[in-house]
Structure 1
Amino acid sequence: MTFRTMRRHRQQLSEPESIELLKNGTSAVLGVNGDDGYPYTVPINYVWHEGKIYLHCAKSGYKLDALRRSDKVSMTVIAQEQIVPQKLTTYYRSVILFGRARILTDAQEIIEAAQLLGRKYSTDAPAVDQEIRKDIDRLCCIEITIEHLSGKTAIEWVDPK
């Protein structure tokens, strides 16, 4: 698959800058191929680890049904935004990725993904591990392999160099 190049290339962030946005972001919107050809997007918490994205969900639901039909996904993180009413615009930094999702089935992979997620959002590792042990039978984790990534910033925040 050939992905489109960014039209406003001066605003494009480098790959390392885009990865930093992913690493530091706290929420995203995941897009999947939904019912009857409609896109389905859902807000998620996620973690970036060694070039992949991990997220969790229940063991059943719309998102999983869609992923079982098609593993292709898109995800957007808005890392920074500033509404500028006097200019009728918003300054922002964001990253969009396209990739393939895999529903994890191996218990150890699920535990490791859940630990990565839990430790991103909490500094209490024992509490995270206890929660995972308590909910492991109801927990599903998804791994996204990134195929294409692009970050963008508002033209007002572009370094003039």
Structure 2
Amino acid sequence: MFRKMRRYKQALSLLECAAILNKATSGTLAVMGDDNYPYAVPLSFVYDHNRLIFHCATSGHKIDAIEKNPKVSFCIIAQDQVVEEKYTTYFRSVIVFGKAHIARNVKEKKEAFEVLAAKYSPRDEKGRMDEMNKLFEQTNIIIVDIEHISGKEAIELKKNCEK
């Protein structure tokens, strides 16, 4: 179903991909938007047990697209260093494919919201709980159940790791 990486020697392991997903604070979500135009939007997220969690308003382009077609991809660029004299970049990135759904069950929504909030405010439990309670009804929580992950890095980075 998912393509094999053409430059497989540059592939990151699932463990390396997970480390990038755990460390990153933002990425770009791609959905099938209006009139079958791709719609890609940067957003904050959390990676949690083979799923991605993010929040958004209760209406808008993302919500409409996800309700129409739940298949999404999500991309993180963990490194992008231009190496001018070599006419290249030393990059490291991860792409996730999965199916998104809006957390409509109150328990699922609350638990996912807490996981997301804890990533961005880990030391202020009372503050994040107050904020979550205040925004709960006017916020959608989207969960992407991951079906496939692939990561890739510049061959120069791969060679440096092997030394």
TM-score range, shorter chain: over 0.9
In 1, Cα distance between the equivalents of 2:152 and 2:21? 12
State the shift of 1:37 in Å: 1.0
2:155 corresponds to which residue?
A: 155
1:8 aligns with 2:7: yes
Within a 5 Å distance, the mapping from 1:2-151 to structure 2 comes to 2-123=1-122, 124-151=124-151
Secondary structure (helix, strand or coil) at the match of 1:101 reads strand
Show structure 1 runs of 4+ deviating over 6 A: none
- In structure 2, list runs of 5 or more residues that go unmatched: none
SS at match of 1:3: coil
CA distance in structure 2 between the partners assigned to 1:76 and 1:69 by the alignment: 21
Aligned length: 160
Secondary structure, counterpart of 1:19 in structure 2? helix
Q: Separation in 2 of the partners of 1:92 and 1:111?
A: 36
For the residues of structure 2 that align with 1:59 and 1:111, how far apart are their CA atoms?
15
- Paired with 1:153 and 1:125, the residues of 2 have a C-alpha distance of 36
Q: SS at 1:138's partner residue?
A: coil
Q: Distance in 2 between matches of 1:43 and 1:31?
A: 9
Secondary structure of the structure 2 residue equivalent to 1:148: strand
Please give the TM-score of this superposition, normalised by the length of structure 1.
0.95
Distance 2:27 2:16 in 1: 17
TM-fit CA distance, 1:113: 1.2
* Counterpart-to-counterpart distance in 2, 1:29 and 1:90: 20
Q: Give the whole-Å Cα distance in 2 for the aligned partners of 1:15 and 1:160.
A: 17
% identity of equivalent residues: 45
In the TM superposition, residue 67 of structure 1 has moved relative to its aligned partner by 0.5
Shift of 1:160: 3.4
Q: 1:78-130 CA deviation, whole Å, 9 max, x = no partner?
A: 11221222222221111001100011101222121111111111121211111
Amino acid at match of 2:19: E
Query: 1:50 and 1:14 mapped to 2: Cα distance?
Result: 17
